[in-house]
Amino acid sequence: MAPSSKRKWNEVDDDDDEPSLGRQVLPVANLPRDFDGVPEDGLQYLFTVRRDAELLPRTTRVPNPYEIQEKPASPVRGGETVSVAQGYIPSQEWQDTFLRHFKYFRQNRLQPTNQPPTPGHSGKVVPDKKDRDAWWAFVSGEPDAIWNPPKKPKVAKTLKPRGSRGMRGFSEDIPYDDVQVATTSSQTWSVNDVGEVELVKIEQTSPEVPAFNAATEDPRTESPLGPADSTPTTAKVMQREPTPSLLRGIDHRYSLHLLMYFTHWINLRLEQPHPRVSNITETHARWMFSLLSRVEDYVSADEMSLLRSLARACMALLKERLQHRLAEDPSDLDDRIISESSCWMIIIAVIGLWAQRDLWMDVESMLSEIQPRVS
């Protein structure tokens, strides 16, 4: 029985089957490919099963529940608000192009380079991390003596051996030469206790007080946006740009700390009355742009709060710029002041890269408060 069953197995075996369907274990009927009848036995049924299996795709894919689908931009609500917002918000094409280029810029900045290391500097390159006023002076282009003042040398005290004072009750270290005493003598007639008139010699001593030298007084240090800036300077100060050599030592946490300083400076400037003694310039915008490129993709809740505060500060700055432009304020014509496009770059970078789309509601609320100029 065994040889006959083996021959039957060879008779029904089809060598033309695809190996991808697995090794054939059960016998399958040898029917034409266009067979469309009802299977009469198990052999024909297995033939139809294998034929239909060959028509199925080799691989299948389940839907990704975490896949991010691009949503169309929601239209701005409100009648007049729609026209105002559409006139100031950059187009969707501009936003997509900017975010794509900014992502490439961040990737190029974060990847290591093969260039040889630059020789180290003997002194400090940037101010201390926690010195906010020094950072303002550094970015403003102040000399090193302002943001990195030299430390006063420590005077070494000479210690005398114990018992050198002897039996005296005072110290021999008292500097008697510090105060010079000028002695003057004069004679005058006076009456003594007995009632006799006699000639008396009077000695007068007057200490010589050294004159105050105004040139030795230390310069007064004020807040970066305080009254110290109101004094006009004759020399033109060039602001420092965020060069790659300066940013090389600034990491993720350092960048967020400095961005917190910029948020403070923007809010402090907006609180100042006009005319203002200091402004947020395009150099400050380039610093914020460069520091955002050092921030990682994944941030904590506290770090995200810092980025959102920066975006809202730029919104307030943008609102002021738009109001001045509509009012044709001549004080807004300075090219050094931060531009509207720079404010939009910071805002859209925070919204787009860290998925803070709810900030668009703050943008719409800000734009709704701007009254267009009536011609």
Confidence of residue 315 (pLDDT cuts 50, 70, 90): very high
**61-77: burial string, b at 16+ Cβ within 10 Å, e else:** eeeeeeeeeeeeeeebe
The residue that leads in pLDDT, 192 or 222, is 192
Query: Residue 204 pLDDT > 90, yes or no?
Result: no
C-alpha 303/C-alpha 309 separation (Å) is 10
Section 141-166 average pLDDT: 70
Distance, in Å, from the CA atom of 277 to the CA atom of 51, rounded to the nearest integer, reads: 84
Most confident range (mean pLDDT) of 5-9, 37-41, 70-74, 205-209 is 37-41
Which of 18-27, 113-122, 141-150, 251-260 has the least mean pLDDT?
113-122
The band of 215, judged by pLDDT with boundaries at 50, 70 and 90, is: very low
pTM to 2 decimals? 0.57
Annotated domain spans of the chain: 2-55, 79-110+127-145+238-368
| 56 vs 302, higher pLDDT | 302
- DSSP secondary structure of 290-356: HHHTTS-SS--HHHHHHHHHHHHHHHHHHHHHHHHHHTT-GGG--TTBPPHHHHHHHHHHHHHHTT-
pLDDT tens per residue, range 225-249? 544 444 444 456 789 999 988 888 8
The whole-number pLDDT of residue 122 equals 57
pLDDT surpasses 50 at 208: no
Write the pLDDT tens digit of every residue in 253-295.
999 999 999 999 999 999 887 777 778 999 999 999 999 999 9
* Measured distance CA(293)–CA(305) in Å, rounded: 17
DSSP of 115-129 = SPPPPPPSS-SS--T
- 79-110+127-145+238-368 belongs to CATH 1.20.58.1070: yes
- Give the residue, 177 or 100, on which the prediction is more confident: 100
**What are 168's two structure tokens?**
């005296």
Among 259, 339, 340, which residue's Cα sits nearest to residue 299? Answer: 259
Cβ proximity of 343 and 325 under 8 Å = no
